[in-house]
Amino acid sequence: MTFSIILFIIYGVLFLVEFLLIFTSSFKSAKPADTDLQEVTILICARNEEHNLERCLNSIVKLDYPKGLMQVLVGDDNSEDGTLELIKSYEARYPFIQVVEIEDEKEGLIAKANVLNQLIDLSDDEFQVIIDADMEVTPQWLKTMLGALQQNEIISGYTRVDRGGALSHIQIFDWQVVLHSMKAMADKFRPISILGNNMGFRKSAYNKVGGFRALGPTDVEDLGLLQRFQKAGMKAFQVVDGFGYALTLPQPTFNELIIQRCRWMNGVFTHHWLLAIPAFFARLWVLFVLPAFLTNSSLAWLILLYAHVSALLKYLQMSRECGEVPKVFFYEPVFISLLDTFALLRILVKGKVSWKGRKF
């Protein structure tokens, strides 16, 4: 069997599976927690977030949720800027916000898992919700998250990429395409990943699976935690909601965009190698389409058609579901595949993945 025939089979199967997911997606929703409101802890990891954290905390202060039922723990992870002073200024104004100075690599844990582990130990609330320091949440975000948590043990929230900067449109498009796959797989089978920047879980379930301590030193703590929940047979859910969501800042430079993708790839290749095989062909299709145009034009057009049509349909479906106005220029799938290719090359050359200026 020639390599061209193998590629025909691979992309033919991908085409079929993707289109079945697209045209049979029902987008299950969770009922917001409007009446049965519970005590909840919001966990925020902050390292050198002086310029982003104020945006996050201001949005949390504006949440449509009783402040007497909220506890906000902000972990300062040995910041080298004015992050700690900023958190303390909010702590002085709002009694539900508390600063926690983080011990470096406590119990052998690293990166974000180390921060979250120490914050969770300080909370007695059953419902724990994580949001990144560079995020902004809508007023309905917490009720949406709690509504989903009342029916599940672990959830992934709905995150959008904010607009702004030359590279934001590419990231908005790609984020919606990826979230479509996550939502479709979660609703039909089981979640394949989770958004570590916007997620929640029940503490009783977290303790049962051993929490972050059971993962050991890892920089992909979100996916590792999801897998432990799934192995224990616990219910997981992917939230997609047009009102209760969070906004993440787009990566401002090409280099930071590549580094972000390196972290994502590291998580897939180290924790989800079965998923990594189809993802490799689905995401890095430019590696195959260019040689195919020189040897087998039919194969090249199949790959090109698959990459563009599937991505476009996913983006449009997600936009419609969440009430967003779609904006398409048709070059997005090519640009995104090139970014992923550069990210893979960087991993192969440099190996290490950085988190907030630290390499692991």
Residue 230 lies in a domain: yes
Cα(first)–Cα(last) distance of the chain, in Å?
41
Residue 144 lies in a domain: yes
Q: Quick one: 298 and 223 in the same domain?
A: no
Q: Quick one: 149 and 297 in the same domain?
A: no
- 344 Cβ partners below 8 Å, 6+ apart? 265, 284
Q: Quick one: 74 and 216 in the same domain?
A: yes
Contact status, residue 119 vs residue 43, Cβ threshold 8 Å: yes
Contact status, residue 73 vs residue 150, Cβ threshold 8 Å: no
Q: Quick one: 264 and 307 in the same domain?
A: yes
**What is the mean pLDDT, run by run of 10 residues, along the chain of 360 residues?**
89 93 85 82 97 97 97 97 97 98 95 96 98 97 96 97 92 96 92 94 98 91 94 96 95 91 79 79 94 92 96 95 90 96 89 63
Q: Quick one: 92 and 51 in the same domain?
A: yes
Q: Quick one: 132 and 274 in the same domain?
A: no
Q: Quick one: 264 and 240 in the same domain?
A: no
Range of the domain at 7: 3-26+256-349
DSSP state of 101: E
- 315 Cβ partners below 8 Å, 6+ apart? 173, 176, 177, 180, 326, 328, 332
CA gap 95, 248 in Å, rounded: 26
Residue 190 lies in a domain: no
Listed residue (215, 20, 185) closest to 114, CA to CA: 215
Q: Quick one: 102 and 143 in the same domain?
A: yes
The kind and range of the H/E element at 71 are strand 70-76
Listed residue (10, 55, 194, 207) closest to 128, CA to CA: 207
The pLDDT score that the predictor gives to residue 271 is: 67
Residue 187 lies in a domain: no
Residue 338 lies in a domain: yes
Q: Among 219, 235, 250, where does a domain finish?
A: 250
DSSP state of 122: T
Note the pLDDT tens digit of each residue in 70-106. Answer: 999 999 999 999 999 999 999 999 999 999 999 999 9
Q: Among 234, 250, 266, where does a domain finish?
A: 250
CA gap 102, 113 in Å, rounded: 11
* Paired residues of 127 in beta bridges: 40, 202
Q: What CATH number should be reported for the domain holding residue 124?
A: 3.90.550.10
Q: Quick one: 9 and 98 in the same domain?
A: no
Residue 358 lies in a domain: no
The pLDDT score that the predictor gives to residue 353 is: 65
Contact status, residue 50 vs residue 133, Cβ threshold 8 Å: no
Q: Among 187, 218, 250, where does a domain finish?
A: 250
Q: Give the type of residue at 317.
A: Q
Contact status, residue 191 vs residue 236, Cβ threshold 8 Å: yes
SS3 354: strand
Q: Quick one: 55 and 147 in the same domain?
A: yes
Residue 151 lies in a domain: yes
Residue 34 lies in a domain: no
Measured from the Cβ of residue 124, the count of other Cβ atoms closer than 10 Å reads 8
Tally the domains of the chain.
2
Q: Quick one: 243 and 263 in the same domain?
A: no
How many Cα atoms are found within 13 Å in the side-chain-facing hemisphere of 67? 10
Predicted structure pTM score = 0.92
The pLDDT score that the predictor gives to residue 35 is: 66
Q: Quick one: 204 and 304 in the same domain?
A: no
Note the pLDDT tens digit of each residue in 201-256. Answer: 999 999 999 999 999 998 789 999 999 999 999 999 999 999 999 999 999 999 99
- 79 Cβ partners below 8 Å, 6+ apart? 46, 47, 48, 49, 50
DSSP of 123-183 = ---SEEEEE-TTEEE-TTHHHHHHHHHTT-SEEE--EEEPP-STTHHHHHHHHHHHHHHHH
The pLDDT score that the predictor gives to residue 347 is: 86
